[in-house]
């Protein structure tokens, strides 16, 4: 889940990471009043869950309250990369002495957090890695030991700092690690972390939390579906609410399987036979008749779907349960879209009989089933 900048900064503030004075607004008058109270130049920032806002016009500077009003009004009435701007973060403009990149993410190879820092802040870390790799300091965090003070001091020193500034920067590095660790973040990033005459300030913030950990963060779980805006289609969001692993595609043949690998193979086989998959839906393991029925209803109710191919290898998910779910969904919906099933494994014969009694075709191989569903769909 991608938190918006102001949400990430609220968490940073709880962990005592310095942030600019700011306020979230939804109308230009509020922006003007905040700028008047601040009595200094401000930054107007669109709150959308994507990077690169600045290049797309989502970050503007205002020297006066009237400019803050007009820029906020303008930004709230536009779309940035197809996303509507509904919230604006207005902050004090910081006098920058130097910019630093500071990020913590997951290193899949070492199965650990890794700290990436650079003396060239404000740029994409990927761009720095290509053009100026010598400016990146990388530190794998050993999971059991965690990040220690001497690690953070080592990093700050290698960024060119000493004395009090080295200690101050090390303190922020430790705090950012604590944010990442305690929120189960996949990415915690400050870019740029700005050095000023008074100290260091996080002028931007990114925090991506692992969705699988949200049961531990009820305060974040409540806004999970808001974070999908702009990333998922409306049907994909609906599927997430129903706890279905679903991806919308542009074809007309519905695809349901149990297991990501099998479902992907089903898509490929349908395409090899000349068909166009309309979705990817993975039931996962141990699906009961109710879950199977719910998945089938969801796919068949899509007006773009002309037919349905269900491909199940019965193990924990039993074939008779699969058949019951298919038949129940068909009866409930009363939709006569063609359904072809390939299933084998646990309680296979019982499942095939249930389907046969309901007049639904079942096949022993994925290739034969794919060929049949494509031909049926072509005739619609």
CA angle 26, 27, 33 (to 5 degrees): 110
Q: What is the 3-state secondary structure (H, E, C) of 257-309?
A: ECCHHHHHHHHHHHHHCCCCECEEEECCCCCCHHHHHHHHHHHHCCCCCCEEE
Handedness of CA 12, 15, 20, 23 (dihedral sign): positive
Locate 6 and state its tokens: 């102001």
Give Cα separations from 281 to 239, 240, 266, 273, 300 (angstroms): 9, 11, 11, 19, 12
**Catalytic residue ranges:** 101, 189
**Unique residue bearing structure tokens 């400019």:** 67
Handedness of CA 215, 218, 220, 222 (dihedral sign): positive
Q: Report d(CA 357, CA 39) in Å as an integer.
A: 77
Give Cα separations from 364 to 130, 254, 311 (angstroms): 51, 19, 10
Q: Which residues pair with 139 in a beta bridge?
A: 115
Give Cα separations from 334 to 309, 318, 327, 338 (angstroms): 17, 24, 10, 12
133 Ramachandran zone, left/alpha/beta (phi>0; psi -120 to 50): alpha
């Amino acid at each position: 889940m991608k938190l918006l900048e102001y949400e990430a900064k609220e968490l940073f503030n709880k962990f005592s990471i310095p942030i600019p004075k700011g306020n979230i607004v939804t109308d230009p008058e509020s922006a003007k009043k905040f700028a008047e109270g601040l009595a200094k130049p401000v930054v107007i920032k669109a709150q959308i869950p994507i990077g690169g806002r600045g290049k797309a016009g989502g970050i503007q500077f205002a020297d006066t309250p009237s400019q803050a009003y007009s820029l906020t009004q303008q930004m709230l009435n536009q779309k940035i990369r197809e996303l509507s701007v509904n919230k604006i973060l207005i902050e004090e403009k910081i006098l920058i002495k130097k910019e630093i990149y500071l990020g913590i993410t997951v290193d899949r190879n070492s199965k650990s957090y890794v700290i990436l820092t650079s003396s060239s802040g404000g740029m994409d870390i990927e761009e720095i890695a290509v053009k100026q790799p010598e400016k990146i300091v990388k530190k794998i965090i050993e999971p059991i030991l965690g990040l220690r003070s001497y690690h953070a001091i080592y990093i700050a020193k290698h960024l060119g700092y000493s004395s009090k500034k080295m200690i101050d920067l090390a303190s922020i590095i430790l705090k950012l690690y604590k944010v990442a660790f305690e929120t189960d973040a996949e990415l915690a990033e400050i870019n740029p972390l700005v050095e000023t005459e008074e100290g260091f300030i996080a002028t931007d913030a990114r925090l991506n939390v692992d969705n699988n950990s949200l049961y531990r963060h009820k305060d974040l779980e409540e806004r999970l579906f808001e974070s999908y805006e702009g990333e998922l289609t409306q049907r994909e969001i609906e599927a997430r609410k129903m706890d279905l692993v679903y991806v919308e595609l542009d074809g007309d043949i519905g695809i349901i399987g149990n297991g990501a690998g099998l479902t992907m193979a089903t898509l490929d086989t349908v395409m090899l036979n000349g068909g166009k998959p309309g979705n990817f839906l993975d039931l996962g393991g141990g699906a009961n008749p109710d879950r199977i029925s719910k998945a089938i209803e969801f796919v068949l109710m899509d007006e773009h779907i002309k037919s349905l191919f269900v491909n199940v290898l019965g193990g924990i998910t039993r074939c008779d349960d699969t058949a019951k779910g298919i038949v129940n969904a068909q009866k409930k919906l009363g939709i006569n879209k063609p359904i072809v099933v390939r299933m084998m494994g646990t309680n296979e014969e019982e499942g095939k009989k249930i389907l046969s009694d309901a007049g639904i075709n079942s096949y022993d191989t994925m290739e034969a089933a794919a060929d049949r569903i494509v031909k049926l769909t072509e005739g619609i």
